[in-house]
Amino acid sequence: EIVMTQSPATLSVSPGERATLSCRASQSVRSNLAWYQQKPGQAPRLLIYGASIRATGIPASFSGSGSGTDFTLTISILQSEDSAVYYCQQYNNWPRITFGQGTRLEIK
């Protein structure tokens, strides 16, 4: 099983600043990585797939990068509504899909 490790566990950033979330895979997943945003009481929402491709309707303030084992989700110009838990997910080793444990993003 490919283990996905996200860091930090919690990130606190001020509005208008940039947030950088990391995700590391225990072995290469090439570019087969997705990011999701989950707000309290809601289902997750797809943000990024293919490591860097924004999903439909996702603003340009969200960007993904990386390949192989190290990936980054960047949220530029943070807004209060960006407060959520963010998950990465690898799908290179399908059907043994695995998620990271999540990063909680708090807006100060």
| 70-75 β-sheet, strand order | 4-7, 19-25, 70-75, 62-67
Nearest distance from C-beta of residue 88 to other proteins, angstroms:
10
Query: What percent of the residues of the chain are helix, what percent strand, and what percent coil, each to the nearest 5?
Result: 5, 50, 45
Q: Is residue 43 involved in binding other proteins (CB under 8 A)?
A: yes
| Sole binder of other proteins in the list 34, 78, 84, 105 (CB under 8 A) | 34
What sign has the CA pseudo-torsion 2, 7, 72, 57?
positive
Q: Residue 69 Cβ, how far from other proteins at the closest point, in Å? A: 18
Q: How many residues bind other proteins (CB under 8 A)?
A: 22
Is residue 11 a contact point for other proteins (CB under 8 A)?
Answer: no
Q: Are 88 and 73 in contact (CB under 8 A)?
A: yes
Q: What pairs with residue 35 in β-bridges?
A: 48, 88
**44 belongs to the binding site for other proteins (CB under 8 A):** yes
Interacting residues with other proteins (CB under 8 A): 32, 34, 36, 43-46, 49, 55-56, 87, 89, 91, 94-102
